[in-house]
Amino acid sequence: MKVSLTPELHLELYYYMKLNRMLEEQMVRLFRQNKIVGGLYSSLGQEATSVGTAYALEARDWMAPMIRNIGALLVKGFRPRDIFTQHMARHTAPTLGKDGTSHFGDLKVRHVVSPISMLGDLIPVMTGIALAGRYLGQKIVAMTWIGDGGTSTGAFHEGMNLAAAQKAPFVCVVENNQWAYSTPVRCQVPLRNLADRAKAYGIPSYSVDGNDVLAVYRVAKEAVERARSGEGPILIESKTMRMRGHAQHDPAEYVPKEMFAYWKARDPIERYQKVLTENRMLDAKARAEIDARIERELKEDLEFAEDSPFPPPELAEQGVYCEGCHTIETIWERPIEEVLPPKSCVEPVWKVESFGGPDGAAPSGKRAAAAAVPGGGNHRRAQKTSRKAKPAKVPAPSKVRR
């Protein structure tokens, strides 16, 4: 799919990737200062995957990020202060200081579902959101991300199968970053391309260079539009590399140094910066302006976070149970009569052209009669052949190999 972007949009992709990286670099410094109360997970080297896929969504679409998708949150409209305050457990955080990691979302405005720590569980959740959007006539697409290790969970397979059977407008992005904590992909999946998992569900898939933000965006844009048009779910495998350990506590000493060197030479931001420079969309002055803008925004939002108070003790008992704190409203964008009888009624029959026959065609004539009789057809011929077969000779006990 050929996708044209204006120079301004090209630079916006660069801005989001650079903001993603500089924000996480600041978060590492905060972690070392003991100002982050929970775990910290890096997406260093994976910025193009998060930014490129999320950039393909529209404002009405839904997404559910994972721990390495800060770039997707930024594209969806979250500010660095939301990330800072959340990880620093401040009262101004999206969760009011009740969570110290990435478990937050925005269901009303940005259409972001909070991450689920049990890997794979977001797949059936986002399948349900995709189906609900179609039922309500909202023309939305749901997207979530999963790591290479997470594709081996039962929830992943169940969710993808349900999405395929129901032709849900759902896009699943597999971030193949080569390591499931300390387990390399080759030790847990007998596949070179995780995109091949889609064959089990009869759905299309893509395998893309996850360190090429333009390639990621083009593939994601095509997948989103295909899903929106009614083609059903699509799986995208983004081949990239986790350039740090699983979390800040993990030095990743199990990763070969040659592997880090290979992927460092393919850094997504440096690659894209070179493309923009060669196409005269980015020069030294524009780079300096973008860097200065990011530094200014990070400084302002970090000051906001550090000046924010911690949550008051009495907050601990609030929000545990819903007591009229919010309303759940159904947003219909189609006539409700379309999903109610009699318009929603269909003839209660089930028919497949081949009736499930092994040769792909409905049986007829003598074949149909033989198939209708127990033991008929090929089974009867097989029995007849077996009666002619001679019994195998059994060697004497002394000659049996043990």
The set of catalytic residues is 242, 246, 254
Q: What is the Cα Rg of the chain in Å? A: 27
- Look at residue 353 and give its three-state secondary structure: coil
121, 78, 85, 112: which is closest to 304 by C-alpha? 85
Q: How far is CA 290 from CA 3, 229, 297, 345, in A?
A: 24, 36, 11, 57
**Both tokens of residue 3?**
């996708």
Return the amino acid letter for 224: V
CA dihedral 378, 381, 386, 389 (to 10 degrees): -130
Answer yes or no: are the C-beta atoms of 123 and 146 closer than 8 Å: yes
Closest among 173, 233, 242 to 208, alpha carbons compared = 173
* C-alpha closest to that of 265 among 14, 45, 68, 13: 45
